[in-house]
Amino acid sequence: MLKSLTDYLDSIVSRDPAPRSRWEVLLYPGVWALGWHRVAHWLFEARLFFLARLVNHISRFFTAIDIHPGATIGRHLFIDHGFTVIGETAEIGDNVTIYQCVTLGGTNPANGVGGKRHPTLEDNVIVGSGAQILGPITVGKRARVGANAVVTEDVPEGATMVGVKARSTLVPVEAWQRDFVPYGTPCSDRFDPATQKLEIIQCELETLQKRLALLLEERDAGAAKGVTRKKGKKSA
């Protein structure tokens, strides 16, 4: 029991640059939410639905994280900060990282039968802040979902999803060999918080360069048309 707890805390320390010790991690709302969920899920499987919901309600009140008692969660889930919602039929694998304000939401079944309504996150998935993953879809192993992305279709293994509606960018094989890189992917496929400002500036610079190139192209095209018209008038 103690070994499992220390392994879990160490897995969070390895993914989060903020804590200085395991003791700090014990105060994380995500750790408490997962602990409460383990109790609620046990009660849910024992068909003690009211008690399971009660535990869930208490957990949500103290942590601002809403995990339905029916959700199936593997080892070493790390929920960084709160305001995350995980639905009843969601399935989460091992070593998954979820940042704040994420929804693993369901879709309305057309036939009126509940069934599988929420997504499945396989091992080592990273979900950026504000992302919405909706419906009975599967997010493959080591996939990354960028901040504020809206995902409604299956995600290939090792892909990075960005945008609304999210599009897939496959991660090169050599990137799989790298250590865990925290946080989301606002400008590029890989994002390191140590270079956050530089990446944002580079992203904005690339956007401005593209707009400038487009404006110059339009200007040159307009100038060429003007020359053509002048030549036509002279020949007339």
Alpha-carbon distance of 133 to 193, in angstroms, equals 23
CA-wise closest residue to 67 among 27, 99, 103, 15: 103
Shared domain for 68 and 169, answered yes or no, is yes
Q: Calculate the CA dihedral of residues 114, 120, 126, 128 and round it to 10 degrees.
A: -20
Average pLDDT rounded to a whole number, residues 20-45: 96
Omega prior to 197 cis, within 30 of 0: no
Shared domain for 152 and 99, answered yes or no, is yes
pLDDT of residue 92: 98
Alpha-carbon distance of 2 to 18, in angstroms, equals 23
Shared domain for 168 and 197, answered yes or no, is no
pLDDT of residue 169: 67
Give the domain range for residue 61.
2-186
Average pLDDT rounded to a whole number, residues 159-181: 67
Shared domain for 151 and 210, answered yes or no, is no
CA-wise closest residue to 122 among 77, 84, 79: 77
Does the pLDDT value for residue 224 go beyond 90? no
